[in-house]
Amino acid sequence: MNTGFNVEEQNMIFTVEPGGILQGNLRVPGDKSISHRAIMLGSLAEGATEVTGFLEGEDALATLQAFRDMGVNIEGPDNGRVVIHGVGMRGLQTPAGPLNMGNSGTSMRLLCGLLSGQLFNTTLTGDCSLSTRPMRRVTEPLAEMGAVIGTTEAGTAPLNVCGDQPLRGIRFDMPVASAQVKSCLLLAGLYAKGRTCVTEPAPTRDHTERMLTGFGYPVERVGATACVEGGGKLMATPVEVPADISSAAFFMVGASISEGSDIVLRHVGVNPTRIGIINILRRMGADITLSNEREVGGEPVADIRVRSAPLKGIAIPEDQVPLAIDEFPVLFVAAACAEGETVLTDAKELRVKESDRIQVMADGLQTLGVDARPTEDGMIIQGGGAGCRLGSGRVESHDDHRIAMAFSMAALRASGSVVINNCANVNTSFPEFVTLARNAGLRIESAS
């Protein structure tokens, strides 16, 4: 299967003409976080797990291919449908070579924990971007559990995970809120002797805990602590993946800043650990309403209607930062169009994503004439208000999918064309972005 991991060798360029109004009834692709976890837990379960709504983006496909490489029979994906024939907790097989995670930090960090409990050695590799991202945040606590994992001197990939190591449960207080670290340790805890408990300093997405419970594996959650006992088993269960709120976020901001816009985003996951984008935009004055709220497979979903509204700058509450950590690139665009000053603090994590999202967004916004000042842990943006027009020009995405899509929406308020360089990595999370955005009213074209 071609997962397209050579995206950094391509130079896909987005050209977005100014203006446009977003309208329509849209469904964005399936949630990436849930798609990853469905493949992982379905592979370790007993029986066949049918997944619908699976995200057919390169990150989730990297996870799928890794488990195929470890002997799991997986049918699809076919229009978002995947059937995973689980091999049980001890049924994975030694892969023929390194497992290539492409650009997916979630795949690498979560698999690092899961593979620590296997009986065979594994090497995890990634593309140039992933190979610079910090991995000690997972390898060090895993070492406390007894895992043996080799990294580069800088603590980056490739990761050499030694198998057949007896793991023991630990209590770990995370220094930084991170769903990837929490999930990594809980997955390792499935194979550890005794009890593994992870305490987070602020709430992070809880898809792993919810899905473990759905697959019949008990998770004890008390306050900020999640615990699992090693030695249990997973039983196959259907998984319906909701639309990804991180992908919906681009259209939420786009509709908010473009006068006359009115869109409905259908079947979006509104897990309370993921709705920072909604909370922050509402504080800024956005017109957002939720309807048809329901629960699907243990995950809350809703239809989200967004109509254009004048936004105002705010000091973003620090307790919302972990709930919107992936959405800040496009929130910075909202801030640039708001009246007054927006201040983000306590978001240093943004500097170690697919790119340094603080510096890269500041650079691009400055190119468009925005007063955007990066700080060590955030940004200060002076917005132009409802009547302002952003500038035009060429911005660099640094191969970061969320940067590329954020600046695409900025063109709705630009005075001229916005050209965005190196956009191929949009395929990691939102393969149909250009088509869906164009159908909704964005004047976007792509070319290699």
Burial class (CB in 10 A: 0-12, 13-18, 19+), 116: buried
443 contact partners, CB below 8 Å, separation of at least 6: 16, 17, 18, 19, 20, 411
Tokens 């943004």 correspond to 350
Four-residue CA torsion sign, 330, 333, 338, 341: positive
End-to-end Cα spacing for the chain:
22
Q: Provide the 3-class DSSP secondary structure of residue 251.
A: helix
Active site residue 326: yes
Q: Which of 72, 41, 83, 51 is nearest to 233 (CA)?
A: 41
Q: What is the rounded CA–CA span in Å between residue 339 and residue 361?
A: 19
Sheet holding 339-344, edge to edge: 339-344, 378-384, 371-375
Q: How many CB atoms lie within 10 A of CB 140?
A: 15
Q: What is the DSSP letter of 347?
A: -
Q: Which two tokens stand for residue 31?
A: 């949630």
Q: What is the rounded CA–CA span in Å between residue 120 and residue 186?
A: 20
Q: Before 98, cis peptide (omega within 30)?
A: no
Query: H or E segment at 67?
Result: helix 58-69
Active-site annotation holder among 206, 303, 326, 399: 326
Query: Amino acid letter at 223?
Result: G
Query: H or E segment at 393?
Result: strand 393-396
Residues taking part in catalysis: 326
